Amino acid sequence: MVDFGKVLTAMVTPLNPDGSVNYDVAASLAKYLVENGTETVVVCGTTGESPTLNLDEEYQLFSTVLEAVAGKALVMAGCGSNSTKEAIVATQKAEKLGVHGTLQVVPYYNKPPQAGLYKHFQTISQASELPVLLYNIPGRTGCTLEVETVARLAEISNIVGIKESTGRTERVSEIRSLTPAEFQIYSGDDYMTLPLLAVGAKGIVSVASHLVGNELQQMIQAFNFGQVGVATEIHLRLFPLFKALFATSNPILIKEALRLQGWDVGFTRLPLYETNSKASETLAEVLQKLSLI
């Protein structure tokens, strides 16, 4: 069983002014994240703008980040698709490159039934030896991986956990009660990290960890050592940041925050677009208050 740690960062994909991928900045950012609380770098997830990256760009990003963090952290490749065949091809290529695991999102748009979802993930898991982290985010996919289906999938040896982006402690409680202790549950929302730890989650696949990775580590460690008051204090201090980063579609505002810190990550690819001046003002205020800029 691979231990991906407690803080996984869904890394942004830096872009040049012409919209091409800036691999040099990607390498530098990955190194920085690992030096500041990240145990596993998740490459080409939603935060990495996977919907608008082509496969060649994704494979080059996997290789770039693997080389940048070699021996210091794990790399998880976002290889999910609403085409089972395409997800398998991407996963097998990522495996050959040497990644340590793969993030597989619930198929989007085509809204398969639960039997189809089970078969989708089962088929992907059988096509590779990589550990698979399921990703349930119905707000983006339009389809929910039901608890009973998660429990069945958890019986497959290389399906090792789930990233839960539903904001529901009840659902995570149900998953925890129906899966083995070694099945790893991660919050997919920064603001839900502490609440979900209380019902059996292990950690967070985070966006905010670009900025406060060490603080998230401290919060989780405090909770695990029974220092709930300390963990709550950290959570409440960071809560305005969690809200500010998601005032519009991710990753628009985390890229803006990184630019304010001096990172040359560029902007987002269309159809994502920076238009919300109020959200930008609030973000800058929160970053200043937390001494992040």
Residues with catalytic roles: 135, 163
Peptide linkage before 251 cis (omega within 30 of 0):
yes
Average pLDDT of every residue of the chain: 97
Question: What CA–CA distance (Å, rounded) separates 23 from 15?
Answer: 8
Phi-psi region of 71 (alpha: psi -120 to 50; beta: other; left: phi over 0): left
Residues 257, 119: Cα–Cα separation, whole Å: 39
pTM: 0.96
Q: What percent of the chain has pLDDT over 90?
A: 98
Confidence of residue 282 (pLDDT cuts 50, 70, 90): very high
112, with CB counted inside 10 A (0-12, 13-18, 19+), is middle
Is the pLDDT reported for residue 147 higher than 90? yes
Percent of the chain past pLDDT 70, that is, above it, reads: 100
Distances (CA, A) of 147 to 117, 188, 270, 285: 12, 16, 34, 39
Region 4-10: mean pLDDT is: 98
pLDDT digits (tens, 9 = 90+) for 234-279: 999 999 999 999 999 999 999 999 999 999 999 999 999 988 899 9
Half-sphere exposure of 142 (CA within 13 A, CB side): 6
pLDDT reported for residue 275: 80
pLDDT tens-digit profile of 53-100? 999 999 999 999 999 999 999 999 999 999 999 999 999 999 999 999
pLDDT for 276: 82
Quote the pLDDT of residue 87.
Answer: 97
Confidence of residue 1 (pLDDT cuts 50, 70, 90): confident
Q: What is the pLDDT of residue 165?
A: 96
pLDDT tens for each residue of 173-188: 999 999 999 999 999 9
